[in-house]
A = this chain, B = another copy of it.
Amino acid sequence: MNILSNYPQITEEMNIVEATLLRSIKSKQPLVTEVTDQLVRSGGKRLRPLLTVLSAMVGEYDRKKIVPLAAAIEILHMATLIHDDIIDNAHLRRNSPTVQSKWGKDIAVFTGDYLFCKAFLLVSEFKDIENTKKLARAIRVVCEGEIQQYHHRYRTDISTIGYLKRIAAKTAILFSVSCYVGACEGNCSKSMKNALANFGMNMGMAFQITDDILDFTGEKALAGKPVSSDFIQGIYTLPIIYALRSKDYGERMKAYLSKTQYTHDDIAQILKFAFDSGGVAYARTLAEKYLAKAQRNLNALPEGPSREIMQDILDKLIGRKV
């Protein structure tokens, strides 16, 4: 994790989180271990557990409490990713085959469930039940968000508010909770807890909006290569939603989206509408608004490594993409 290269102490903590992650998801069943091992080793930015560790470090850091909590959050995230891939029928994630493409949907369903249980078990090692509750609530909201998203596919009447609620549920809330539980376990003051929870929320919103923009501005999209865009699966993100509301582009966009199959030219046209209508620019504006909010939350934190790294996350991981 490049962003940590100047922080050997935090790199070490994250290595311990990684080891805990690997150890915790081991199973007596060799196949289960094989599946979960590959999941862990296929990488990922570990942003959520990093946020937990950094937030706890704003207060009093206690490795024994924080490491299992951070690992549990990544395990929950992995569980939702496996189930997500089933729904998207995805074959690759981070250039590795997904669980379902390698072992089948069936193994994927129960591996996800297994990871849920493991995560809750890891968290319940604390005597404090509150963290279990917070995480269970967060994942419940993620599930509701995913169900909502799937249910509203192909609906062209989706509003910006609807979109924001959806990405809050499916992405931002887990970032927010990752910060919040770290802050709670670090015995941070109430105002620090709120600043960190809000930072996670706003950062998560910016993260998802910029990720959605990449469907339109990413290398693949610009090179005219087939994009695995959400809109092909009927999931409309901000640039499309904005174009649909546009007086000049709305009707044409709707007509293109309503096609049952998209040709290469159709996709190019949809991308063009998203740009020309100002949809992409609007999405950028919103992302920047959330980045600015996250920046304000960050400014409330005491100076130190946590704040510096969170700043780098904002600037280098998210801000650069906008």
Contacts and interface: CB of A to CB of B under 8 A. Distances in A.
A46 interface: no
Interface in A108-146: 109-114, 116-118, 120-121, 124, 126-129, 132-133, 136-137, 139-140, 143-144, 146
Nearest to A80: B113
Interface stretch (A6-14, A48-56, A147-155): A147-155
B143 A114 contact: yes
Nearest to A83: B109
Copy number of this protein in the oligomer?
2
A107 interface: yes
A27 interface: yes
A53 to B, nearest CB: 23
Given A29-B147, A144-B114, A151-B31, A106 B121 contact: no
A32 interface: yes
Interface of A: 27-29, 31-32, 35, 79-80, 83, 86-87, 104-107, 109-114, 116-118, 120-121, 124, 126-129, 132-133, 136-137, 139-140, 143-144, 146-148, 150-151
